[in-house]
Structure 1
Amino acid sequence: MIKMTMFLKRNADLSREEFVEHHIETHGPLFRSIPEAEEHVERYIQTHPIDLDTDAVSNADYDGTAEIWFDNEEGMEAVLTSETYEEEVFPDEKTFLNHDNTLTVVGEQTNIIE
């Protein structure tokens, strides 16, 4: 299994609230609609920063993360090159994400505490 983590920056035309709403209510269901995702995606979660009342840690300057666990690299490729992704999901990403400033990391996950 491999995990893709994306550190997301929103389109400058959107408020943080608009970005979060679109990410959860529109983009999440669109991604879930990819037929290949049913076969190859083990898990998909979104995280959006909260206001913190602590000095112990601070949030980085990102508007959210998306984490997707794929069965393997070939499965990830099948999802991200699928017709649904290319014709529906990716065009949606361009409406709410700043792709130039979004970071992606793909790797294997190591559990430290379960």
Structure 2
Amino acid sequence: MVKLVAFLKRKPGLTLEEFYDHWENRHGPLIANTPELARHIVRYEQHRRTALAGWMGTEGFDGVTIQWMVTPAALEAFIAEPAYAELIAPDEQRFLDTDSLVWMVTSEPTIVIDGPPA
């Protein structure tokens, strides 16, 4: 299993609520409801930046997405789908500051703590 982890910034001019609305109600469902794209993804997570305290994260980032895929080849196949170029790439331009996108593909984690504190 590999995970695509991306730190997201909203496109200049969008409010935070406009960004979240588009990300959660348009972009996520667009991927999930396009079978030729969704078939490459095991799990797709959207994480909003917490509003609990301003110091909890690098300034300017609005959310994190994590897409779980079986292999790196699944990510390559996802991006190579014609529906990605037709639907997803243009949609990303509508709500993301794509020049500020920070992303990484990770492999299986090293578990350091696994459970509640004693």
**TM-score, normalization by structure 1:** 0.89
- Matches of 2:53 and 2:38, distance apart in 1: 39
- Matches of 2:2 and 2:44, distance apart in 1: 12
- Matches of 1:102 and 1:7, distance apart in 2: 6
- Matches of 1:37 and 1:86, distance apart in 2: 11
- Matches of 1:15 and 1:39, distance apart in 2: 32
Which residue of 48, 55, 60 corresponds with 2:58? Answer: 60
- Matches of 1:10 and 1:43, distance apart in 2: 23
Structure 1 residues 63 and 53: alpha-carbon distance in aligned structure 2, compared to 1, 3 A threshold: closer
The corresponding residue for 1:30 is: 30
For structure 1, the 5+ residue unaligned runs are none
Q: Percent identity?
A: 33
The corresponding residue for 2:96 is: 97
Would you say the 8 A contact 2:50–2:56 is kept in 1?
no
- TM-fit CA distance, 1:45: 0.3
Would you say the 8 A contact 1:42–1:70 is kept in 2?
yes
Letter in 2 for 1:60: T
The corresponding residue for 1:13 is: 13
2:91 match: secondary structure: helix
The corresponding residue for 2:50 is: 50
1:6 match: secondary structure: strand
Aligned CA-pair RMSD? 1.8
The corresponding residue for 2:87 is: 88
For structure 2, the 5+ residue unaligned runs are none
Q: How many residues align?
A: 112
Would you say the 8 A contact 1:44–1:68 is kept in 2?
yes
- TM-fit CA distance, 1:50: 2.0
- Matches of 2:37 and 2:93, distance apart in 1: 20
